[in-house]
Amino acid sequence: MTDGSEPKKPSQANIDKMWAYARKYAVKSGTSLHPDVSVTQTVVEGLAKNIDEVGRPLCPCVFYPDPQAEAKLRRWVCACDEMQNYKYCHCLLFVTADGTPITEYLPEGHEGREAYGIVKDPDPTRGRATAKVLERQKAESEGP
């Protein structure tokens, strides 16, 4: 039952912090912020709200039975594991210039690939930090 009041808005400091992070990370990862500013605003405010509530920018597009425990695991802290490994943002915060998520690196059968097909990475030289480290480690362990 609700009392009809608006949900509590996140702190302006955390909204500003997440806007700055989103802009910087989009450049760093070779992606764009969603061209519909209302999409970006909603995700940024969700990230800021989670900082207010659990101290970390947990992805606001996922339901967490225990947000505090999830924050400690790190896998859904922005930029989440899927973004770090596959350059795929299911929140649509980090996307191509036309607003579609990059799906090129997703494994077969992933819901993102099923929904959007294969969307090529417009800037394969940037992003996927975790995946690139793992690929380099694998190549080094296999030797020449």
Please, what is the Cα angle at 51 between 134 and 60, to 5 degrees?
70
Tell me the C-alpha distance between 115 and 66, whole Å.
28
Any domain includes 18: yes
Confirm if 38 and 32 have CB atoms less than 8 A apart. Answer: no
Residue 4: pLDDT over 90: no
30: CATH: 3.90.460.10
110 dihedral zone (left: phi>0; alpha: psi -120 to 50; beta): beta
pLDDT of res. 3: 60
76 dihedral zone (left: phi>0; alpha: psi -120 to 50; beta): alpha
What total number of domains does the chain contain? Answer: 1
Give the pTM. Answer: 0.85
Any domain includes 3: no
Point out the least confidently predicted range of 55-59, 62-66, 88-92, 128-132: 128-132
Any domain includes 81: yes
Any domain includes 6: no
Q: What is the b/e burial string over 10-47, where b = at least 16 CB atoms within 10 angstroms of the residue's CB?
A: beeebbebbbebbeebbeebbbbbbeeeebbebbbbbb
Any domain includes 1: no
How far lies 35's CA from each of 32, 40, 41, 62, 97, in Å? Answer: 8, 8, 11, 22, 7
Tell me the C-alpha distance between 73 and 10, whole Å.
23
Residues with catalytic roles: 61
Any domain includes 75: yes
Range of the domain at 119: 12-142
Point out the least confidently predicted range of 4-8, 80-84, 109-113: 4-8
